[in-house]
Amino acid sequence: MAISDPDFVIAWKQVLEMCKVKAGEQLTILTSDDSNPQIVATCRIAATQIGAVVSLLNLPPMNGEKALSRDKSGYVGKTALAFNSAALACLKASDMVIDTMQLLFSPEQEQILKGGTRMLLAVEPPEVMLRMMPTMEGKARVLAAEKLLKKAKVMTVTSKAGTDFRCALGQYPVLTQYGLADEKGRWDHWPSCFVARWPDEGTCEGTIVIDEGDIMLPFKMYARDRVVLTIEKGFVTKIEGGFMADYMKEFMDSFDAPEAYAMAHVGWGLEPRASWTQLGLYDPESGLSMDSRTFAGNFLFSTGPNTEAGGTRDVPCHLDIPLRKCSLSLDGEAMTIEGKVVQPPM
């Protein structure tokens, strides 16, 4: 069912207030030609009702001639801000940025955040955003998981499908997403509710099995058959299987970048309102499928860039792959068992 503008304005006002937007703050809504007009219009009204000083900044889309799809996560890190110093200055001068274009993984986003600007990504379908409104309970779950992940030295993941994966932790910070940019310099994504961390360089080892029915992003497809990944010294060195393995390898090879095969963040979903089935019910181009990334108990691993964590791998190929029915442990303590969250308590 569609979401009415009045309901969306109310939701935006609640979320902006939870992000600590106050009267007099400079709030910029960053848009591009493919931004969702309802998201932009209702956010503008809500921010104005709060008393924020609202600006609209529109930048042209980029990389359409390079990307293999219109998905915002299909080609990451390269944006029009790289050539537009005036626009970059506007965003740096803002207290809060609502990003409907997607700056994620770009060096300019990191520059903006380091200046203390808060930034909230908003690119999912409005219906999904309202179904998974950020909550303080969700934030508490993510922060509890962050404490566990911060002190952990080793993550292990196993599954009956054959996953047997291990990595060391500690080199990079923990990634927390709970849907609110409520602190200076914080980036988040509405909706979101998961925790992750980039492994120490060169320490990822083992086997990851993408089983039939697991989700492959940005392809936005359920796996039709098993894909077996061999992980050695932090890189995917083999992709074996049938059609899905060939598809995955062909896509990654198209970037002509060895770092596309590097392991990136690993973690687990904490959102009970997210649904594994949602992907099959929407037009694949309507959003990023945050249901897939955040459904409770998934093991979410990714490949490609680590610039978001302060690393140097600036590669536009980024895969997120949430697996079901995995058991994830930190230093031997179970966080999930066969796809069910046991820590932190739900």
Per-residue pLDDT of the chain (346 residues; tens, 9 = 90+): 689 999 999 999 999 999 999 999 999 999 999 999 999 999 999 999 999 999 999 998 866 566 566 666 666 667 889 889 999 999 999 999 999 999 988 889 999 999 999 999 999 999 999 999 999 999 999 999 999 999 999 999 999 999 999 999 999 999 999 999 999 999 999 999 999 999 999 999 999 999 999 999 999 999 999 999 999 999 999 999 999 999 999 999 999 999 999 999 999 999 999 999 999 999 888 889 999 999 999 999 999 999 888 889 989 899 999 999 999 999 999 999 999 999 998 8
pLDDT for res 105: 81
Burial of 33 (0-12, 13-18, 19+ CB in 10 A): exposed
CB-based contact 19:120 (threshold 8 Å): yes
pLDDT for res 61: 80
What is the distance of C-alpha 107 from the center of its chain? 16
CB-based contact 110:156 (threshold 8 Å): no
pLDDT for res 71: 67
One-letter amino acid at 287 equals G
pLDDT for res 97: 98
Q: What is the pTM of this model?
A: 0.94
Task: Tell me how far apart the alpha carbons of residues 41 and 30 are, in angstroms, rounded to a whole number.
Answer: 12
Task: Tell me how far apart the alpha carbons of residues 161 and 182 are, in angstroms, rounded to a whole number.
Answer: 39
Task: Tell me how far apart the alpha carbons of residues 129 and 11 are, in angstroms, rounded to a whole number.
Answer: 9
What angle is formed at CA 216 by the lines to CA 302 and CA 102, rounded to 5 degrees? 65
Residue 285: how many CB atoms within 10 A of its CB?
Answer: 11
Backbone angles phi, psi at 327, to 5 degrees: -115, 120
pLDDT for res 65: 65
pLDDT for res 106: 87
One-letter amino acid at 162 equals G
Task: Tell me how far apart the alpha carbons of residues 268 and 341 are, in angstroms, rounded to a whole number.
Answer: 9
pLDDT for res 286: 87
pLDDT for res 155: 98
DSSP 40: H
- Is domain 5-123 annotated with CATH 3.90.230.10? no
DSSP 156: E
Radius of gyration of the chain (CA): 19
pLDDT for res 33: 92
Residue 337 forms beta bridges with which residues? 340
Backbone angles phi, psi at 32, to 5 degrees: -140, 180
Domains of the chain: which residue ranges?
A: 5-123, 133-341
